[in-house]
Copies of this chain bind each other. A is one copy, B any other.
């Protein structure tokens, strides 16, 4: 007791002095910090303030300049060079560092040919030009040409059909107009879904090839001045990218569920279900224009039309193209950088903090802007240890390789270290590129409060208010309800698209994904022009947002590393799940009403009669009615969860602020809290894709990156698979009950 009270006094004095220095009031100094007793909170705030003082924007700039001086795709010489260089850096900052190597399938192109052969001829350039304003744009050595990873090999010739974004609803529109893609080559614009959905759906409809283009409407001149005058995609800019079937499972296509170690059992390339079945090629809008101009047939629906100065036609033809693609189907080593700072008190509790290392070309914004912020975080954490401080928990910094082809580095590592991660990981914090603007945070809703707390403490470099306040401003103006009331800003649920996926979706480790952006423009994505010159003009000139990202991510890392009790707040989680339940109920109700309305229109023959009789039109037929579902099991589970959440949050809040929790009880509670996110997973996974196990969040099977919350129910309703709705509901309710049970255990422990 004596010790505690002396500590309290000392830390209060320290804190008050510190806050006086910052002009803050004593009132604020005593604000509770989630997961900390008042005395450890004061210590922590001081630590974080020291941490901030070590951050230096010049480091970010210097490191980026080196890293993006040559191509850094997986397997490139400079990728390997920078991996070894990073090992040295992290070692110099006091980390135990290793490179975890996996042998992954990473096809690179041998032949890329696209020709318009009828009614006119044109050979696509498939090449981004050298610009005097962009120093690395002319680099030829080790350059990887424009391509889509995991396209099939193929040499196909066929008429073009324009399929808009190439998502399922687009094919319904084509069917209305009597247009089939069977035996055709589709041309789809980027956007509207993750790119891998486009060739997948095209192949499902019988297409023999797929061309993806960047329409100037979506990230070119329609959006703003193009590079090098402005940040948007210039006419020859190409978006590279993976087209593996990631919503089935990400990572190495040959080794689902297991790490791609040298001796892992592997699918053959032919067997691997996530490799596309048709050839796919990305092109620029300069290359797309002659193709689209040569098309005829019905005019595309209004919301299918882009910003090229033509009338967009659907085809088929008369434009015919030949698409010839062949790849090297080699295994390539991927090097994950793993840098560990062992925890003083709980070495077997890990805070994992990652960003990927590999890019498509130079990769300045994606991923290096995030990676250099992570490095600066690690360096500053290293600085903190010079004064004798050590994190209570182990911090693991990771630099993932082979994210771009499909989250390979992180996925193989997570699969490989599955059991250890189940046991030890308390949090995964991801970043993946950064820019100027607003804080964007997504992740597990147990973490919503701590993200809000941290965001209120970090200053926005442009306006001087907190990044929380600036985020709230933009969200309030755009109508986000959480920004228009007291309380926490909502964090976004996570789908997929970066390295949090294996941690969150597969293993059930509470995860966050954070970045700044919204004021950086956006036309260099996955192109040769995602370069140092571009980034320092249009991305984050001066790297002030890089430092701000390091402040936010570093604070979260440090807070989890040092917390007395892991800073989860269950009420945020419960409120969020409650909202999602309301959403899926509304979804079913709306779909039922729409179906009734649709069927009434079919019965009236309204679809046929409203169509222009001079054009081909297949009116839609009636749809099966939407049954009423029993949502009660889910609603009851949420109710139970809510009671348990309130009890735990209240008790933890009280006991922490009173300082009456013993270290043993804290350890016991933390052991339970560490299991909460895992309790949300279902060992059987989602219908048809067992790799995805989280019952609350998943990437959409037909959206790719876009999240589906309560995916088992939501996708069953959206895809009209009524028989799945109630069984999936049972699974989600069971998961919620597992969480409730853990909360009761944790609370009970406190009470007893």
Contacts and interface: CB of A to CB of B under 8 A. Distances in A.
Nearest to A478: B610
A474 interface: yes
A92 interface: no
A307 interface: yes
A225 B472 contact: no
A90 to B, nearest CB: 35
A297 to B, nearest CB: 11
A601 B307 contact: no
Given A307-B309, A309-B308, A476 B226 contact: no
Interface string A225-237: 1100010100000
Contact of A473 (B470, B472, B606): B606
A463 B605 CA distance: 11
Nearest to A305: B222
B610 A519 contact: no
A560 interface: no
A61 B295 CA distance: 34
A595 to B, nearest CB: 15
Contacts of A484: 597, 600
A309 B216 contact: yes
Interface residues of A, number: 44
B309 A463 contact: no
A153 B370 CA distance: 60
Interface string A585-615: 0000000000001001100111111101110
B609 A463 contact: yes
Interface of A: 216, 221-226, 230, 232, 299, 302, 305, 307-311, 437, 462-463, 465, 469-470, 472-474, 476-478, 484, 519, 597, 600-601, 604-610, 612-614
Nearest to A541: B614
A221 B609 contact: no
A299 B225 contact: yes
A222, A469, A609, most chain B CB atoms within 10 A: A609
A609 B465 contact: yes
Given A224-B311, A600-B484, A612-B519, A477 B606 contact: yes
A42 B150 CA distance: 75
A162 to B, nearest CB: 14
Contacts of A601: 476-477
A610 B600 CA distance: 45
A216 B224 CA distance: 18
Q: Which 9 A-B pairs have the closest CB atoms?
A: A473-B609, A474-B610, A473-B606, A309-B309, A473-B610, A462-B613, A476-B606, A224-B299, A477-B610
A607 B473 CA distance: 7
A613 B221 CA distance: 23
B308 A604 contact: no
Contact of A311 (B222, B465, B477): B222
Given A225-B311, A465-B609, 8 more contacts: A225-B299, A230-B311, A232-B311, A309-B309, A462-B614, A469-B609, A472-B606, A473-B604
A192 to B, nearest CB: 16
A610 B610 CA distance: 44
A476 to B, nearest CB: 5
A466 to B, nearest CB: 10
A610 B470 contact: yes
Nearest to A613: B462
A465, A469, A476, most chain B CB atoms within 10 A: A476
5 contacts: A230-B311, A305-B307, A307-B309, A472-B606, A476-B604
B311 A221 contact: yes
Contacts of A604: 472-473, 476
Contacts of A478: 610
A147 to B, nearest CB: 27
Contact of A605 (B221, B307, B473): B473
A646 to B, nearest CB: 29
Contacts of A216: 309
Contacts of A597: 484
B230 A477 contact: no
A607 B478 CA distance: 10
A167 to B, nearest CB: 22
